[in-house]
Structure 1
Amino acid sequence: MFERILELFRGPAPEPIEELTANDSQSSSELAGLAKQWEVVVGVQKHFNDLEWRIRSLALTALTAIVGFAVGTSVANKFIAVGTFKFGYSAFLGLLGAAIWTAFFMSDYKWYHPMLGGAGLAANALETKLGPRLGLDPGEMLSHQIYTASKKSAWRKAHETHSSQKLRVFYLVGYLILAALIVWNLLDLNLPPQATP
């Protein structure tokens, strides 16, 4: 599909050079240059988007493994006692998970996400120049459409949710899972056992 969109933006084959006036030749080569720049920028967007999804995939794998190990150590009832208070190994795994989750968040949100945003802004700027020359409204072009569609909220129809907000929600869910794991472990080990009838 991406190749088909590029074909639409490339348009028909240019006229032979000898039939073009100097002004038409300059205009045609400028248009081809803009189209090539747009193609490169969209490729950069795809690259950073792919990197971000790989990071999130690894983050979810790490989160799943840590929660699994933590539940396993909790079931095994392994803990460290400080006075009468018990810290389970799973609580330490939860803290370790939070540190790892933070590393994924920082690389995704603070490192690659701004680069993806910059590539999107560059594509939008090129589409603003390129669209009218192709007889298209820039708002109908790929990057503008992606930006418009990505702002739609999954929860509230009239509310806009930008990609950076969605990204923070994604990582917040991981932090909540880890916090619940730590609290569950501490409560499980430190609440007095219930008397069985």
Structure 2
Amino acid sequence: MARDVGVLDVHAEYGASQVNPEYGLLQRVSHWTEQDIKRENEIITKGHNFEPSVVLKGSFSEIFMHCDFQSFSSNKSDLSLVDNQFALETWKKTVDVQKHFNDLQLRVRNYSIVLIGAMIAAIGFTFKLNMETVIFGFTMPTGIIFVIASLFAWAAFYIFDFGYHSLLKGDVNHAAKIEQKYDGKIPGIGLGITISHASKNAKYFGLKLNSTIRLTLYYLLGGLMLVLLLIGLSISSAEQETDNENKNADIEKYELK
């Protein structure tokens, strides 16, 4: 079979130990069965039915007279090229995931602005009509309820946005590892590191604010606006209630006269 595929067959004749006296001792110590000994004797008697191309009679070193051995060397340039191609495809997919998370964050912020804008419009409408709501015996402007609902909605949007932001940062860090490893091997692969560096060093009013701080400030300012609106409505409601009480008192005085 080896010859059929062009492989050199070698027989180590010096290694045949079956003819030595010690081999019988080995059989007895190893507790060979009669069947095993019989099969071994048949092999020794018949021998092999083919003529080896090379026979080593004294030692294994004789093989060097018949064979020329060379060290195996892989084509490193081809392996490096394949490795770079796989790395580039992985990097591209990582960047696509970044785009996905960026898109999700922009959608969350867009929905938050639209919702809060609609809520503020509803607050203004209820305030203009002087609408009031009674809850557990307490009378309050309906706009206050809308403001409180807006605060809860704004907080929920922040939780969603911050969650996607954390996933985005993890993806960016993964891309940075690829870029650091293959920087210099794949031209232009350091885009993510460059953008991250620019984002970390972005200055607003002379202060360096990274993406996490900017995200938090965005929702803090929106929440502060809603809190101020809530305070304003509460003060306005209290003043209006005082005015109504004064008017009622004046009416009562006028009727007494």
Match for residue 197 of structure 2 among 148, 166, 174? 148
In 2, the alpha carbon distance for the partners of 1:52 and 1:44 equals 13
Q: Which amino acid aligns with 2:77?
A: D
Equivalent residue, structure 2, for 1:16: none
TM-score of the two chains, using structure 2 as the length reference: 0.61
Equivalent residue, structure 2, for 1:99: 152
Equivalent residue, structure 2, for 1:15: none
Structure 1 residues 125 and 84: CA distance shift in structure 2, 3 A: same
**Are positions 1:29 and 2:82 aligned together?**
yes
Which digits, 9 at most, give the CA deviation of each residue in 1:80-138, with x for residues without a partner? 368997521111100000111111110111x21111001100111110011121367x7
Which digits, 9 at most, give the CA deviation of each residue in 1:50-106, with x for residues without a partner? 100110000000110111101110111112368997521111100000111111110
Equivalent residue, structure 2, for 1:161: 209
**Are positions 1:183 and 2:231 aligned together?**
yes
Q: Which amino acid aligns with 1:142?
A: L
Q: Gapped runs of 5+ residues in structure 2?
A: 1-73, 247-257
Equivalent residue, structure 2, for 1:41: 94
Q: CA deviation at 1:25?
A: 0.8
Q: Which amino acid aligns with 2:221?
A: V
Q: Report which stretch shifted further, 114-123 or 142-151.
A: 142-151
Equivalent residue, structure 1, for 2:177: 125
In 1, the alpha carbon distance for the partners of 2:99 and 2:136 equals 54
Larger RCO (CA within 8 A; separation ≥ 6)? 1
Q: Report which stretch shifted further, 186-195 or 80-89.
A: 80-89
In 1, the alpha carbon distance for the partners of 2:149 and 2:109 equals 17
Q: Kindly indicate which of the two structures has a greater share of residues assigned to helix.
A: 1
Q: Which amino acid aligns with 1:144?
A: I
In 2, the alpha carbon distance for the partners of 1:184 and 1:90 equals 11
Equivalent residue, structure 2, for 1:18: none
| SS of alignment partner, residue 98 of structure 1 | helix
Match for residue 52 of structure 1 among 105, 109, 132? 105
In 2, the alpha carbon distance for the partners of 1:36 and 1:132 equals 16
Which digits, 9 at most, give the CA deviation of each residue in 1:144-169, with x for residues without a partner? 1111111212221xx32111110011
Greater C-alpha Rg: 2
RMSD: 2.3
Equivalent residue, structure 1, for 2:167: 115
